[in-house]
Amino acid sequence: MLDLAIIGGGPAGLTAGLYATRGGLKDVVMYEKGMPGGQITLSSEVENYPGICEPVSGMELMECWPKQAMRFGLKHEMEEVKRVRRECDGSFTLELLSGKTESAKGVIVCTGSTPKRAGFEGEEEFLGRGISTCATCDGFFYKDKEVAVLGGGDTALEEALYLAKIASKVYLIHRRDTFRAAPSTVERVKNNPKIELILNATVKKAYGNEMGLEGIIIEQNGKEIDLKVPGLFVFVGMKVNNEVLKQEDGSFLCEVNEWGEVVVDLRMRTNVPGLFAAGDVRSDASKQVVCAAGDGATAAINAIEYIEKIGELKPC
């Protein structure tokens, strides 16, 4: 039986692995379905991770993280975890997509979240090269430039307000003429002189060159508009990657909130003893690399304490 299983190999999972193994746990496996690094590897420029003097790509930022964690004994299995179950002795069973199973005394879920795609032509091509899903991360690259935001929910409108403090102008594109966002936020957006609303409109296509995005084609009331902007922020909802916690009867193994985020306390503990969550998958996450890494460290420190305290598991 493993001491600890970590699900997900992004900043949260890798940091959890580093702290768990360096903190003395012997059998620690990190399950990552792809290459370790997480969603930040999609970003072409990161400049807000502390200690980075010059902007680096997400790939560059994450390059050494797996090597560092594995130096202390973390094992990486390139496997997708299908489900986590809790057994009557308090241990956890991980069902892997490959059909194998593994047991662990403790589990840290670090599966992240995935921004939804709007589905227009060129969206994937320019993601990380002008198309962004994170204003805190990429807004500064558009200082005193014009940008567009797509979406009509709380995230789109709040991020449009944030971007209006940095960019010279923000075009807010929404497919209807009423918003899903809170009325007070809608008022603030409407009263902001730097935000121009483009309503009943959809983005048809993003275009550019090898340097990045040059503009977008919008369709509004049957007419096409060519908006020349170097940046488009897409906020059409987030998918929380909580599937591993879904049980066969459709319930969740631990408490999740109305948006599907895993509810944790300040020690990253869920309401199930031995089950922790860290990074973008947890409730109230700031959705930043530095925060995910901090969560991973916190979860691992508390998982070590939990595993040391329970000692050997008692049979059912």
By CB under 6 A, name the binding residues for ligand FAD. Answer: 7-13, 31-34, 38-40, 42-43, 46, 48, 80-81, 110-112, 115, 128, 132-134, 137, 241, 244, 279-280, 287-290, 292
At its nearest, how many Å lie between ligand NAP and the CB of residue 146? 20
Report in angstroms the alpha-carbon separations of 264 from 13, 40, 185, 250, 271. 16, 23, 28, 20, 7
- Smallest separation, CB 232 to ligand FAD (Å): 12
If the CB atoms of residues 82 and 204 are measured against ligand NAP, the closer one turns out to be: 204
Q: Give 24 or 34: the residue with its C-beta nearer to ligand FAD.
A: 34
- For 198, residues 6+ apart whose C-beta sits below 8 A from its C-beta are 171, 172, 173, 174, 218, 220, 225, 227
- Cβ partners under 8 Å of residue 102, min gap 6: 2, 5, 29, 93, 94, 96
Q: Which is nearer to ligand NAP, 7 or 238 (CB)?
A: 238
Closest contact distance (angstroms) between CB of 117 and ligand NAP is 7
281: its two tokens: 């998958």
Q: Which residue of this chain has its Cβ atom nearest to ligand NAP in the complex?
A: 153
149 vs 157: CA distance, rounded Å: 8
**Which entry of ligand FAD, ligand NAP, none binds 48, CB below 5 to 8 A by partner kind?**
ligand FAD
What does the block give as tokens for 171?
Answer: 């075009």
Residue 220, exposed/middle/buried by CB under 10 A (0-12, 13-18, 19+)?
Answer: middle
Catalytic residue among 3, 137, 254, 280: 137
Of 138, 254, 280, 295, which residue is the catalytic one?
138
Give the Cβ contact number of residue 64 at 10 Å: 10
| Catalytic (active site) residue 138 | yes
Show the 3-state SS of 143-165: CCCEEEEECCCHHHHHHHHHHHC
Residue 80 binds which entry of ligand NAP, ligand FAD, none, CB below 5-8 Å type-dependent: ligand FAD
Distances (CA, A) of 1 to 5, 104, 105: 10, 5, 7
The site for ligand NAP (CB under 6 A) is made up of 118-119, 150-156, 158, 175-176, 180, 235-238, 259
Which has the closest alpha carbon to 141: 55, 267, 215, 200? 55
Q: Which is nearer to ligand NAP, 198 or 297 (CB)?
A: 198
CA distances from 278 to 178, 226, 292 (A): 35, 42, 6
Closest CB to ligand FAD among 6 and 189? 6
- Residue with Cβ nearer ligand FAD (91 or 241): 241
Helix (H) / strand (E) containing 102 = strand 101-109
119 makes contact, choosing from ligand NAP, ligand FAD, none, with CB < 5 to 8 Å by partner type, with ligand NAP
* Catalytic residue selected from 27, 89, 134, 291: 134
| Least CB distance to ligand FAD at residue 45 (A) | 7
Which of ligand FAD, ligand NAP, none sits in contact with 280, Cβ below 5 to 8 A by type? Answer: ligand FAD
- Between CA 199 and CA 57 the distance in angstroms is 34
CB of 286 to ligand FAD, least distance (A): 8
Among ligand FAD, ligand NAP, none, the one that 118 touches (CB under a kind-dependent 5 to 8 A) is ligand NAP
Q: What is the DSSP letter of 117?
A: P
User: Which residues are catalytically annotated?
Assistant: 134, 137-138
